[in-house]
Structure 1
Amino acid sequence: MEPSLSNATGYCVIILGSLFFIILMNSITYIQNKYSGHNSRKVEEFVNASRNVNFGLMLSGIVSNWTWSLTLLMSAVKGYQLGASGGYMYAIGGAIQVSIFSFLASLIKARCQSLTTFVELGYFRFGVAGHLSFLWVGFVCNAIVSACILLGGSAVFNSITGINVYACLYLIPFGCACYISFGGLRATFISDATHTCIILVFIITFVIKVYFSNEFVGTPQKMWDALQSLPPVDGNYKGSYLTFNSQDTAVFSVISLITGFGLTICDQSYFARAVASDKKHTSKSYFFAALCWFCIPFAMGMIGVAARALSIFPGFPSLSAEEVNEGLPAVAAIEFVMGKGGAAMMLVMIFFSVTSSFSGELIATSTLISFDMYKRYYNPKATPQEVVKVAKVGVFVWAIFSSSLASIFYGPAKISMGWLFNFLGVGTASGCFPIVLSITYKNLNKAGAVGGSVGGMILGLIAWLCMCKGYLGEINVVNLSDQWVSFTGNVTSLVMGGVISLTCSWIWPANFDFESIRNRTTLYDNKNTVEIEPEQQLEQQSEKSAEDVKTEKDNTKIEVEPETDTSTSDLESKSSFEIEQKYLNRQYKKYCGLVLLMAFVLAIVIPVPLCSSPYVFSPKFLLGFMIIILLWLFFSFSFVIVLPVIEARRGIWRIFKKLVLHKS
């Protein structure tokens, strides 16, 4: 593709956009620190957002964190390659995995409420060996995800503006690091809401313009006619782009599911959101976030289908295989239909997507660096203030590392975003069973946790390489991204991670007592006690506003006075704890059922009849298909954007009175 905008435009979007968010986030952080009970200089606020983020803001953060450049670009690539089923199958591969956290989050709150990272859980249950194996899995996942995010974004910037890819790979992460290092996780959530608003508005605009309002394929009938005139798709029923009956789609759906498991379970940024959320809303946040997110790749997949239809018109850019793997079909379609204005919108949308999702990776990995490396091994006596300082430095360390890794992938290795997507499950899926079982299964032992997470990864890599050599005859970069080669590595990594974990645990059951780690944390670790240390209680108390403290006292009924009857206080505390545990256990069971129902509907009830039947969409069916997508997008907008503002209205008004009206 030839750039349609100037180099200067690309640099301006990156530099001015970064400056805008640096000023915005630091202003919000300053106001928050001064006029609310939240102080980003405190470790609990910086890393965990004081563990009390409300439903709307949490939902927005989860959707934004999962809407990275790969989501927007690769779903369109699959629509371009496979047809209407491509974006849908990509969406299933992410939504189900995110929804699984809706019941895992309840168990995290019930069984290990003071943890900050899933890697800590590896240490408290399995010692140093378990800790290091989980730490390795976490860093591998975050490294691949970070590189994917940056490679996808830089490819779009380069194709639209001709900007130097290496400059893009370093400038965007540096800008993210600047505003994240000041505001911490809560600043990330606020940034997420802003980013997601723009992304959803632009996607709605793209869908309306491409399918209902352009001179080329601006009606479902014209789109249908254009797609029917294309050469047939190998493996699709009647070679059509408007069918779910596709052999390649079936293979891709498995790869997508396994990749989604690896990314979601092994990515510390998802665990961090479970930790940061309010106990009352954590399960609900993940479940509705999955539903809201689903329509984003679903819609972008249909933009990829439109790119195929538009390819029959003179002037549409001819995309090479490399450009397709870099995620450019959606860019080409929007630019062709909407001109330079569309190209500019696409540029801004990808910038917002990259910065939003990458900021989550920065917080996640800086937490691993500060908690699970610095505090655990280098300076066990580090104070919370020292841990915060290391976390802030870790933000910049990871930004530099990610930029360098992505540069190596782009340059010497010639590895694209699409290649990394196919490899993701091979490198990450082995940790899924060990990590989930460490939260849910008392009999998981050290051999199962370590062997499953590390051994499964090794076996997955061996199967991946052997399949490449045996099936294609030669191991090289291109062959390693073949769908059957990727399928073999992905499945082996996930399955063997589970087999090793469960087999070892059945032979030597651990019978672990979750109560022993309920209040343990690396920050104040004392394995001889179960209760939170007094210093942690004081710090957590200082980070809450007066209103939050009052609410918490009202809810828990724990209020120690000099004259308080200790036995009565203990009884009330015990009663409050039992009520809380019962609530979290009910949420766990409730959302287990809801997740199974959602998975059954989205993965079986809807696609199986379409995939198994010899059916090609009619123009009217295509119209209904696109109307459903549009309605779903508006539904997501109301939840992700409108709801957080409604929930925060009292706090916003309180701060407004203090700032503008000078009233307390």
Structure 2
Amino acid sequence: MAAGGIELVSQGTGYGIIIGLGALFAILILVSVRIQKRYLLEDSERSEMFMVANRTIGTGLTASAVFSSWMWINESMYSTVFAYSWGIAAPVWFASGLSFQIALMAVLGIVAKLRVPYAHTSMEFVRVRYGRFGHGTFIFLNLINNVFGCSAMVITAAQLVTGITGMHIAAATVLIPAGVVVYTAVGGLKATFLTDFLHTAIALSIMIYLTLAVLTNEHVGGLGGLYDKLRATESLVNVEGNYMGSLLTFKSYKAAIFGVVLKVCNLALVTMDTAFWQKSFASDVRSTVPGYDLASVAIIAVPWGIGTVIGLSARAIEHTPVFVTYPEVMTAAEINSGLVMPYVLKSLVGSSACVAILVMIFMDITSTVSSSLIAVSSIVSFDFYKTYINKNATDRQILRVSHTGVVVYGLVIAGWTLALNYAGANGNWILYFLPVTTSPGIFPVIFTLVWSRQTKLAAIISPLVGLVAGVSVWIGLSYSMFGAVTIATTSEQMPALYGSLTSLFTPALLSVIISLIKPQRFDWREFLRIDLIEDKSEHSSAVASSRESQVAQDEKKITSETSAADISPEAGLDGLRTRRSSDLVHPFDEATLRHVRRWLKIAIGFLVVNCLVTIIVWPLPLYRDYIFGKTFFKSWVAVSVLWQFFAFCAVVVYPLFDGRHAIGKGVRGIWLDLQKRVQGKKE
């Protein structure tokens, strides 16, 4: 029996899906790793392949992996909760925040290609710039972000699985990440890219099916029927903070506040998570910007489409006999646990749709967890082990530590998530808790890569002060405004908003002030000291020879025209060019550097356009005393559904086309091997 005593699907079905899919993906990754190694010469037993996939990921797979990483369980499930709670504006604010984050990461990713072309984690360039104390500070902030962010996804998924199946919360918490730990430890980052593609294809297919199944159901009645039913319930529904209390107005105060929290403050889940940096490190220099920007457009489909249709459909049928809780409405606990979508689908489609939700939950959560596992294991192996324990570690030693890190971190996540569960946390609380605790490092880490004047003292002090200040404001306002500090009071919007803004902007202001008091300037060439990992036990490795060949080519291309201005910090990105006599030679030739700089301009231009469209041009004109008319509403929802099909083409169909040569090579290799086996048996 699930939440509220409502049976959605059986426990056995829940266990079968979670354990079965985990085992299936582990087997698929084992097979794909063998195929990569045998036919594509991609060996996941090397650190470069395990951590950054040899930096060869194409545009299609990059877009698919980025899309999958941003397709959090909170996004697909809680967009329906917020649409139910605040109306038609909430899914758009959700989509806007996600799109903006990816567009920003495209800019940071291409800057990283220019300044730290061989980085493996974001902590590497922090260490080069700020030394041990700065390195330790940012590792602490990064681990806070990864542990809290990953556990937030797991706790949401576990509570949903428990609510749908009645499975014990401890079992769900442990089993959900278990299969991911296995295939991530075996396959590394390239494996997560491949599974990201499979996750995306399956989850998007299910999402489109569920959206259309609800919209075309006789109890909803299509676009026009949904609108009519929403208007008919206006006497029963009065949304506080909405114009005339309507679900069909974009003038929603609480939805707008949520949009601010998500867009501005949750940037930490991107910039402070080395997993997202690793995806940009792993992509080919020609694929970073187009891959990220394509994903930033496609991601709008997820919260906008499914959130609008299913969230509003819940309101349309909640007071009718078809709804599973009738004659009662959903309780606050059921809503905060994300059960809006399961209840709607059980009411309209049946238990089979709830099974589809379980599959979608698994697809959404495993992508997030696998990226986080790789990120943290890379920090453990690279930023701890190789930096402070065994400076002369070989490739294989680093890889062993990475594998161990994946397993240990998986256990930590399971344990921490269980603690949050038993403390009474839920997905709604997590959404407001995260930005308060993870935002302090955003500006300092961005300044590390783009502002040469940020000093070591500023980088260390500002985020720590920001963390203390943000948490203090959050807790203090929760107590002063609501009289207590509990899960319920700290889940309120205003304390979380002010706490998040304090965490975000205090470090930015402090960093600038401290840096200007005693100014210094960083030489960007120092970042070029970060190099590829080479297995010292294998002097003839392809990685080593490839690196030496590339450096030799670059040295020939650099002419005597290179001046001091070319390497000065004032030269900006051009400062990456080096003199012939320097040991710090950029690994890219001049043609590649010009190409990457051109992509940087495109990325900045796209970010500006993205902000203008998603923050100003699209939502703000609608934030007025206006209730959607029937024709406008039908067009609005139709476009949101069509956007789902666009997303499917962009991150499922296109990656197959983009990777057709590698796929063909693998298929031909398998076919030839099979022919040899058959021929051998005949002989």
**Cα distance between partner residues in 2 of 1:617 and 1:458:** 43
**Cα distance between partner residues in 2 of 1:523 and 1:469:** 51
State the number of aligned residues.
641
Q: Is the 8 A contact 1:18 1:176 kept in 2?
A: yes
Q: Is the 8 A contact 1:38 1:543 kept in 2?
A: no
**Cα distance between partner residues in 1 of 2:385 and 2:611:** 40
**Cα distance between partner residues in 2 of 1:583 and 1:448:** 34
- Residue number in structure 1 paired with 2:324: 316
Q: What secondary structure, in the 3-state scheme, does the structure 1 residue paired with 2:485 have? A: coil
- Residue number in structure 2 paired with 1:179: 183
Match of 2:595 among 583, 607, 612: 583
Match of 2:199 among 195, 199, 203: 195
Cα-to-partner distance string for 1:280-334 (whole Å, 9 max, x where unaligned): 1111111111111111011232122221222121233232212211211112112
- Residue number in structure 1 paired with 2:681: none
**Cα distance between partner residues in 1 of 2:12 and 2:355:** 12
- Residue number in structure 1 paired with 2:543: 541
- TM alignment of 1:514-553, pairs within 5 A: 514-521=524-531, 539=541, 541=543
Cα-to-partner distance string for 1:518-559 (whole Å, 9 max, x where unaligned): 2415957xxxxxxxx999996562798xxxx9xx98x99939
- The answer to whether 1:5 aligns with 2:12 is no
Match of 1:99 among 99, 103, 111: 103
**Cα distance between partner residues in 2 of 1:337 and 1:343:** 11
Cα distance, 1:419–1:52 mapped onto 2, change above 3 Å: same
- Residue number in structure 2 paired with 1:143: 147
Q: Is the 8 A contact 2:265 2:501 kept in 1?
A: no
Q: Which runs of 5+ in 1 are unaligned?
A: 525-532
Cα-to-partner distance string for 1:208-247 (whole Å, 9 max, x where unaligned): 1222x11211222321222221321111011111111011
Residues 299-308 or 93-102, more deviating: 299-308
Match of 1:419 among 410, 429, 436: 429
Q: Is the 8 A contact 2:271 2:442 kept in 1?
A: yes
- Name the aligned partner's letter for residue 604 of structure 1: I
- TM alignment of 1:108-507, pairs within 5 A: 108-211=112-215, 213-228=216-231, 229=233, 230-302=236-308, 303-314=310-321, 315-317=323-325, 318-411=329-422, 413-507=423-517
- Residue number in structure 1 paired with 2:611: 599
- The answer to whether 1:558 aligns with 2:572 is no
**Cα distance between partner residues in 2 of 1:240 and 1:354:** 33
Q: Deviation of residue 579 (structure 1)?
A: 2.6
**Cα distance between partner residues in 2 of 1:364 and 1:478:** 32
**Cα distance between partner residues in 1 of 2:661 and 2:361:** 32
- Residue number in structure 2 paired with 1:530: none
Match of 1:20 among 24, 27, 31: 24
Q: Is the 8 A contact 1:467 1:485 kept in 2?
A: yes
Sequence identity (%):
28
**Cα distance between partner residues in 1 of 2:98 and 2:586:** 39
Which ranges of 4 or more aligned residues in structure 1 deviate by more than 4 Å?
A: 521-524, 533-540, 564-568, 573-576
**Cα distance between partner residues in 2 of 1:183 and 1:271:** 19
Q: What secondary structure, in the 3-state scheme, does the structure 1 residue paired with 2:589 have? A: helix
Q: What secondary structure, in the 3-state scheme, does the structure 1 residue paired with 2:553 have? A: coil
- Name the aligned partner's letter for residue 223 of structure 1: L
**Cα distance between partner residues in 1 of 2:35 and 2:85:** 48
Q: Is the 8 A contact 2:324 2:346 kept in 1?
A: no
Cα-to-partner distance string for 1:432-488 (whole Å, 9 max, x where unaligned): 100111011100111221122222111101111111122112212211111011111
Q: Is the 8 A contact 1:39 1:543 kept in 2?
A: no
- Name the aligned partner's letter for residue 271 of structure 1: W
- Name the aligned partner's letter for residue 621 of structure 1: F
- Name the aligned partner's letter for residue 511 of structure 2: S
**Cα distance between partner residues in 2 of 1:517 and 1:269:** 20
- Residue number in structure 1 paired with 2:632: 621
Q: TM-score, normalised by structure 1?
A: 0.92
Q: What secondary structure, in the 3-state scheme, does the structure 2 residue paired with 1:518 have? A: helix
- Name the aligned partner's letter for residue 122 of structure 1: V
- Residue number in structure 2 paired with 1:528: none
- TM alignment of 1:48-59, pairs within 5 A: 48-59=52-63
Q: TM-score, normalised by structure 2?
A: 0.90
**Cα distance between partner residues in 2 of 1:351 and 1:57:** 20
Q: Deviation of residue 32 (structure 1)?
A: 0.8
Q: Is the 8 A contact 1:371 1:522 kept in 2?
A: no
Q: What secondary structure, in the 3-state scheme, does the structure 2 residue paired with 1:215 have? A: coil
Cα distance, 1:438–1:427 mapped onto 2, change above 3 Å: same
Q: Is the 8 A contact 2:265 2:504 kept in 1?
A: no
**Cα distance between partner residues in 2 of 1:267 and 1:3:** 38
Cα distance, 1:468–1:566 mapped onto 2, change above 3 Å: closer
- Name the aligned partner's letter for residue 316 of structure 1: V
**Cα distance between partner residues in 1 of 2:186 and 2:210:** 34
Cα-to-partner distance string for 1:235-291 (whole Å, 9 max, x where unaligned): 101111111101112211111113431111111110010110101111111111111
Cα-to-partner distance string for 1:567-616 (whole Å, 9 max, x where unaligned): 99x98x989633322322222222111111111011110100101x2111
Q: Is the 8 A contact 1:369 1:391 kept in 2?
A: yes
Q: What secondary structure, in the 3-state scheme, does the structure 1 residue paired with 2:167 have? A: coil
